[in-house]
Structure 1
Amino acid sequence: MRIPGPEPRADGGVGAVTAAGGLHHYQLRLHAEYGPVVRFQLPGSETAVSVADPVLLEATAHVDKRPERLFEFLAPLCEAGNLQVLDAEEHAPWRRLLLSVLAGRPSHERHFARFTELTSALADRWAERSVREPGEPVALQKDLTALTLRMICQFALGGDVPDSDRVIAAFEDVLTEYLGRLYQAPVPGTQEERAERAEDALAHLRATVDGVIAAHGSGSRADTSDLIGALVEAGQSPARIRDTVMVTLLAAHHTTGVAVSWTLYLLGQHPEVAERVADELDRVLGDRPAPDYADLRELTCLDMALKESMRLYPPGPYGARETTEALALGDYEIPAGATVFYPFWAVHMNPDHWPEPERFRPERFSPAEVAKRPKLAYVPFGIGPRSCEGAALAMVEAELVLAVMLKRFRFRPVPGHEVRPVERFVLWAADDIHMTLHPRGTQGGTTR
């Protein structure tokens, strides 16, 4: 059976993607019009099939190859080969190493106190600002991505980086330039100016990472959460060590900071849900301003709110694989060499599994509701052997940050400020997310 989809365009699909505002919006339109499986044109791929049905997705979960052209925009970050498209034989041991560092509960607990210090320091700065400039909004994504960059540096590298704002801006310059080339999207400035800006930004990133690696030193590795030490022990080359650090910094700080930002935005839009989360924090934490690691298990309302936020605004809005042989997908057959596109946002908005999908309803993630859905109806961290190695760490970081901030503040939207999601490697907000903070008062020994 022929897979449905739009008629081919002479521009290879670039115009359709651009007109929709990016691939994530384009996928929502495609699946709304053509159903759960759609054939479409994708820059960098001759044959692309998007799958928004979680049951059909299971038939693709074993595929362990990424389409090289679709991930070319990350190649500038890597000198020893693009880590996003390593072949399966090389990728598997590299993935196991990352999981050993990023996914272990003992290492999460080991860094939890430092994570709490960093988060509390930002909360203190916000509190001071609310007193000094009452009613002045904060830019959530700017501040929170800077925080989560510091957290991942602490976890994986054993320290902070100087001038984190400049590091974040450099990542944005590199990604904006290379994403613009891939999708022929308009980017401010001449071609020469953009290329020079991206080159300067990349040089700054590499120099920063080299400095962190040099400061790390050598010697035996006693800490299982020491990423650089693990890479050295595994015999990785200096270039591969730097590449891994660069990609880890990029992926970990963008996704976690953005996820927390969207959650606070949604809670600000739904104060009744925010009050339930705050009441839970008061019950679990009492007078303490921050949770212990063990407390996270008891913060079920907070956990459900975070997951529902990542359903509505998945930090990474899509993924892709390349078939190495023909693949049966329900009534359809996908040929070898095709790009299988995972539109996470469209999967999360599938009304067959998410009634009234546009609504923010954290109770969707109660155990009883989760049991009713297919396993892959919710895929914020991807699926299969190329899923996110840092998923467990990201959830710990995000829940900690949310707990600290929601224990101390109420977040309210700024009247007239439009929050518009756009595609910037992660699902960013076009003009950040500006919200006002209102410290919670003290009544009867607990914050209210």
Structure 2
Amino acid sequence: MEIPGPEPCADGGVGAIARAGGLHAYQLWLHAEYGPVARLQLPGAGTAVSIADPVLLEAAVHLDERPRRLFSFLDPLFEAGNLQVLPADEHGPWRRLLLTVLAGRPSHERHVARFAALATGLADRWAALPAGRSVELQRELAGLSLRMVCGYALGGEVEDPDGVVEAFEVVLADQLERLYRDPAEQAPEQHVERTARALARLRATVDRVIAAHRPDGPGAGGPGTRDRGAGGPNTDNPNTDNPSTGDRSDLIGALVEAGESPARIRDTVLAVMLAAHHTTGVAVSWTLHLLAAHPEAAARVTEELDRVLGDRPAPDHADLHRLPYLGMVLRESLRRYPPGPYGARWTAGPLAVGGYTVPAGAVVLLPILAVHLNPAYWPEPERFRPERFTPEESAGRPRLAWIPFGLGPRACEGAGLAMTEALVLLAVLLKRLGFRPEPGHRVVAVERFVLWAADDIRMLVSPRAADGPSR
């Protein structure tokens, strides 16, 4: 049986996606028109098959290869090869190494106080703003998230996080524009120069992070110079390894020990910086946007925070498990605005999906946003309703109905860390501050590697009164 889909176009699908407002919007139209399994033209991949039903997606969960051409826009970021498209035999060991660093719950717990301190610093600054002054949530929160991951996994601070975030956006916007542009068109010369400067800035930042790396705290050597004669772990340094538990959060040290080349180490640091600042910063900004539009949910969050934290301005790790409604709000926000609105895999052999056969060598699109808005599993999918994530409503829902961090062997290695960071950030900010949309500012989601807001998310921020709402 032939897989349904629109007729092929000479432009390779560029026009249809552009007219829809991006691939994230096109995938919603595609599945509304042709059903849960649909064929489409995908720039950089030729013909692809998109699967928007979480039950049918089980057929693709094992796939462990990404289509190279589709992710080629990331090539300029890397020296030793695009880490997004590592072949399975290289990707497996690299992924396991990242999981040892990013997925350790003891490490998350040890860093909660640092995350809270960074969030408190931001809250202090926002609380001191003059009345009527708005903040750009995505830019500021992405910068803070970058500082969080550098402190967690890379051993220190990053200079000018806002500038680094801006450089990432310049490079990604330019490369995505190339992907969706007619091959005959050339980028303006000033764009080429701007992108080159941004890329140079990112590489210089990575070099400084690596040069400042001290795997065992102050006084230790640089990468690869771990002093094994010192007596035991340094308990004052939250990045110190704990050999007895296998807990560690020293990414650069782990890469050195694994024998990775200097170029691969630099590439990995850059990839983690890119993914981490996007995921947490974007997720928290969309959550604050949704709460500002739904004051009854915001009031319930602040009531829970006041009840659990009392007079304390920030949570500890144990408190995060005592804030179930905040957790449901974050999950509902990630459903509605998943930072990565889609993923893609390549299949070496034929794939049976819902009565259709996806041919060998095809690209399988994982339309995460379309899955999250599938009305068969999420009634009134556009509506913001955190109660979807109560145990009662979650019971019986397919496991792949909510996949904001991807699925299978290419799922995000830092998913647990991102959730911890986001919960701490939200708890600190919402305990201290109230958020209102800037009058007249329109928030429009666009595809920019992640689901970003075209002109940021601008909010008026004010301190909460002692007895509840902000002034």
Name the TM-score, length of structure 2 as normaliser.
0.92
State yes or no: 1:124 paired with 2:124.
yes
Which AA in structure 2 matches 1:356? Answer: E
> 1:17 maps to what in 2?
17
Runs of 4+ in 1 over 4 A off after TM superposition: none
Q: Residue 137 of structure 1: CA displacement?
A: 1.5
Identity of matched residues, %: 67
Distance (Å, rounded) in 1 between the aligned partners of 2:19 and 2:437? 28
SS in 2 for 1:39: strand
Counterpart contact for 2:156–2:212, Cα < 8 Å: no
Q: How does 1:373-388 map to 2 (within 5 A)?
A: 373-388=397-412
Pick closer, same or farther for the CA change 1:363–1:177 going to 2, 3 Å. same
Distance (Å, rounded) in 2 between the aligned partners of 1:196 and 1:414? 34
State yes or no: 1:220 paired with 2:226.
yes
Unaligned runs of 5+ in 1: none
| CA offset digits 1:21-79 (Å, max 9, x no partner) | 11000000101111111101001112200000000000100010000000001111111
Which AA in structure 2 matches 1:273? Answer: A
Which AA in structure 2 matches 1:254? Answer: H
> 2:219 maps to what in 1?
none
SS in 1 for 2:302: helix
SS in 1 for 2:382: coil
Alignment: residue pair count: 443
State yes or no: 1:355 paired with 2:379.
yes
State yes or no: 1:202 paired with 2:199.
yes
SS in 1 for 2:345: strand
Counterpart contact for 1:156–1:225, Cα < 8 Å: yes
| CA offset digits 1:282-303 (Å, max 9, x no partner) | 1110100000011001110000
Distance (Å, rounded) in 1 between the aligned partners of 2:32 and 2:78? 37
SS in 1 for 2:41: strand
Pick closer, same or farther for the CA change 1:189–1:266 going to 2, 3 Å. farther
> 1:81 maps to what in 2?
81
Greater shift, 136-145 or 48-57, is seen at 136-145
State yes or no: 1:62 paired with 2:51.
no
Counterpart contact for 1:137–1:436, Cα < 8 Å: yes
Distance (Å, rounded) in 1 between the aligned partners of 2:197 and 2:19? 30
Q: Residue 200 of structure 1: CA displacement?
A: 1.3
Counterpart contact for 1:287–1:447, Cα < 8 Å: no
> 1:418 maps to what in 2?
442
RMSD of aligned Cα (Å):
1.7
Q: How does 1:361-400 map to 2 (within 5 A)?
A: 361-400=385-424
Unaligned runs of 5+ in 2: 214-221, 228-239, 242-247
Q: How does 1:326-337 map to 2 (within 5 A)?
A: 326-337=350-361
Q: How does 1:231-310 map to 2 (within 5 A)?
A: 231-310=255-334
Counterpart contact for 2:291–2:298, Cα < 8 Å: yes
Q: Residue 305 of structure 1: CA displacement?
A: 0.4
Name the TM-score, length of structure 1 as normaliser.
0.96
> 2:244 maps to what in 1?
none
SS in 1 for 2:55: helix
Counterpart contact for 2:50–2:367, Cα < 8 Å: yes
Q: How does 1:35-54 map to 2 (within 5 A)?
A: 35-54=35-54
Distance (Å, rounded) in 2 between the aligned partners of 1:49 and 1:320? 10
Distance (Å, rounded) in 2 between the aligned partners of 1:438 and 1:118? 18
Distance (Å, rounded) in 2 between the aligned partners of 1:135 and 1:181? 39
Which structure carries more helix by proportion? 1
Pick closer, same or farther for the CA change 1:91–1:190 going to 2, 3 Å. closer
Q: Residue 110 of structure 1: CA displacement?
A: 1.9
Q: How does 1:100-179 map to 2 (within 5 A)?
A: 100-129=100-129, 133-179=130-176
State yes or no: 1:325 paired with 2:341.
no
Counterpart contact for 1:281–1:403, Cα < 8 Å: yes
Which AA in structure 1 matches 2:199? Answer: L
Which AA in structure 1 matches 2:168? Answer: F
SS in 1 for 2:197: helix
> 2:232 maps to what in 1?
none
Q: Residue 190 of structure 1: CA displacement?
A: 5.0
